[in-house]
Amino acid sequence: ASAQIGVTGLAVMGRNLARNFARNGYTVAVHNRTAAKTRALVEEFGDEGAFVAAESAREFVDALERPRRLVIMVKAGDPTDAVIEEFAPLLEPGDVIIDGGNAHFADTRRREQSLREQGIHFVGTGVSGGEEGALNGPSIMPGGSAESYASLGPMLERIAAKAPDGSPCVAHIGPDGAGHFVKMVHNGIEYADMQLIGEAYQLLRDVGGYEPAEIAEVFRTWNTGRLDSYLIEITAEVLSHVDAATGKPFVDVVQDRAEQKGTGRWTVQIALDLGVPVSGIAEAVFARSLSGHAELRAASRDLPGPAPARLDPEAAKAFADKVEQALYASKIVSYTQGFHEIAGGAAEYDWDIDQGEVAAIWRAGCIIRAAFLDRIRSAYDADPALPSLLSDPGFAKEITEAQPDWRDVISTAVTQGVPTPGFSAALAYYDALRAERLPAALTQGQRDFFGAHTYRRIDREGSFHTLWSGDRSEVEG
């Protein structure tokens, strides 16, 4: 046994992760259900480091140093269970299985519990950064036992992305499913970021009258400021790309139906279960599903409404600055909601998650990497019990300054008929939080009226019911 780590599942992610370990000096055992992929990896990249090719599960397990560290990088869902069932009987107490796929955290909790009974550490690990990240440094979010992290952590730190201050983008998130939960929320935030960028693009195009290549320049400028992020950077690349076949902007020849693999949807489903309002993320998921309803959209195309009136170039320039404010303010709200969900998950499942650390390990390697995350990290470092990002004095100040433009952009969108569900949901969340009174009091009255669900009063303890169909006197509920 000579390999310090093994990777089974050698599609794009597993292959690149195995190469990343090898390039960092580790001897890596590699295995894949279809053995041809294992051989291909060693043939193509064998000179990058030390690989031990294993054809069978037994060979793979025997190639690993004890305690064994075995990374599973297969399609999430049933394949993961199949692989665990294949390997678990070959392992011994103290060995560590790392699942780097996009598992649902509830599956991870189930697998962790069952393997723990056999003395095997199961480390459900979020890995973000796609193919490129897996090879050159992903952001890594491991869950599982603290004990497993003691032996695994240093290896993950070597292969992880490095933040601008040099620190590795990996941290032990918490027990059992905590790592996959945080990865799920990362993806939900990613959906929201992408939706907000999409809305900014559509406003610049329809109201600002800019062409895609010009909008790319606007995004490039934004990318030198507080919006500096990977997603803004690639947005500029996509918008400036010209389709070779037609000579048209690439964005104009792609069908406008956004697909999804499910992690954004999970973020919203779980938020509903936890009772955490993630309205911005939900709007982003719904916007993708709406875009895919081709027949509904075709049937609705003739519905009346305003057509955007294009601004003159001077006004368009001023409008673009306002859109930047709206995008930034809405982004603060999305992250506020995402971090609230992490806090909600931590409370529900008894995970002690360091929110500042989560922000820190998202600073590089992952899809939502951004200069902004350093600010979030500082906010939580300054006050680990921060009730909301909006309570941080720095973010509160920025949102105060952005507010007139944020409102103005949404008003323009509404009067000109440009859909901005993300911007609007973010502002509605903000306004609801700061409201002195919400119509929830009326909701409680209605619930008591039709269902005797009772209500609480502002001036007395206890629950009460009004005899709505009687003399309307109040009784204790």
Active site members: 183, 190
Q: How far is the CB of 83 from ligand NBP (least distance, A)?
A: 5
Map the footprint of ligand NBP across residues 334-363, applying CB under 6 A.
none
Q: Name which of 8 and 336 has its Cβ closer to ligand NBP.
A: 8
Q: Which is nearer to ligand NBP, 38 or 424 (CB)?
A: 38
Q: Which residues contact 224 (CB under 8 A, 6 or more apart)?
A: none
Q: Which stretch binds ligand NBP (CB under 6 A): 74-82, 89-97, 299-307, 341-349?
A: 74-82
Specify the stretch interacting with ligand NBP by CB under 6 A; choose among 8-16, 326-334, 435-443, 456-464.
8-16
Helix (H, G, I), strand (E, B) or coil at 465: strand
Task: Verify binding: residue 75, ligand NBP, rule CB under 6 A.
Answer: yes
- Measured from the CB of residue 373, what is the shortest distance to ligand NBP in angstroms? 18
d(CA 180, CA 142): 7
Contact characters 377-396, ligand NBP, x per CB under 6 A: --------------------
Give the three-class secondary structure for 28.
strand
Query: Which C-beta is closer to ligand NBP: that of 125 or that of 325?
Result: 125
Q: Angle of helix 393-416 relative to helix 421-434, nearest 10 degrees?
A: 130
262 is a contact residue toward ligand NBP (CB under 6 A)? no
Scan for tokens 């799920």, then name that residue: 184
Order of all β-strands in the sheet with 27-31: 50-53, 27-31, 5-8, 69-72, 96-99, 121-128, 139-142
- Pick the stretch among 12-20, 46-54, 338-346, 412-420 that binds ligand NBP (CB under 6 A): 12-20
Out of 73, 98, 278, 386, which residue is the one contacting ligand NBP (CB under 6 A)? 73
Distance of alpha carbon 64 from alpha carbon 70, whole angstroms: 8
As beta bridge partners, residue 474 has 466
Measuring CA to CA, how many Å separate 99 from each of 84, 251, 296, 347, 384?
A: 9, 36, 40, 24, 29
The residue (of 75 and 248) whose beta carbon lies closer to ligand NBP is 75
Which residue in 398, 293, 419 sits closest to 335, CA to CA?
398
Minimum Å gap between C-beta 460 and ligand NBP is 53
48 vs 131, beta carbon nearer ligand NBP: 131
Which one, 84 or 343, has the nearer CB to ligand NBP? 84
Task: Decide if residue 10 touches ligand NBP (CB under 6 A).
Answer: yes
Query: Which of the 8 DSSP states describes residue 176?
Result: T
Exposure letters 303-328 (e unless 16+ CB within 10 A, then b): eeeeebeebeeeebeebbebbbbbbb
CA count, 13 A, side-chain hemisphere, 319: 25
Q: Does 49 sit near ligand NBP (CB under 6 A)? A: no
Cβ closer to ligand NBP: 87 or 328?
87
Least Å distance between CB 341 and ligand NBP?
Answer: 19
Give the type of residue at 231.
L
Looking at beta carbons, which residue is closest to ligand NBP? 101
Residue appearing with tokens 């993961």: 80
User: Comparing C-alpha atoms, which of 81, 14, 91, 16 is closest to residue 60?
Assistant: 91
Q: Which stretch binds ligand NBP (CB under 6 A): 78-86, 115-123, 295-303, 435-443?
A: 78-86
Among 74, 196, 342, 386, binds ligand NBP (CB under 6 A): 74
DSSP-derived secondary structure letter, 100: -
Is 34 a residue that touches ligand NBP (CB under 6 A)? yes
452 torsion bin: left (phi>0), alpha (psi -120 to 50), beta (else):
left
Token code pair at residue 415 = 């009067």
Distance CA 204, CA 196 (A): 12
459 CB neighbour count, 10 Å cutoff: 4
Structure tokens at 155: 């290896």
State yes or no: residue 33 binds ligand NBP (CB under 6 A). yes
Please identify, using beta-carbon distances, which residue of 33 and 162 lies nearer to ligand NBP.
33
- Return the range that interacts with ligand NBP (CB under 6 A); candidates 23-31, 77-85, 162-170, 328-336: 77-85
Binding mask 102-141 for ligand NBP (x = CB under 6 A): x------------------------x--xx----------
Minimum distance from residue 123 beta carbon to ligand NBP (Å): 14
Q: Does 240 bind ligand NBP (CB under 6 A)?
A: no
Q: How far apart are CA 175 and CA 227, in angstroms?
A: 33
Cα 34 to the center of its chain, rounded Å: 31
Least Å distance, CB 261 to ligand NBP, is 7
Total count of residues recorded for the chain: 477
11 or 106, CB closer to ligand NBP? 11
Q: Is 255 exposed, middle or buried (0-12, 13-18, 19+ CB in 10 A)?
A: exposed
Contacts with ligand NBP by CB under 6 A lie at: 9-14, 32-34, 37, 73-76, 79, 82-83, 101-102, 127, 130-131
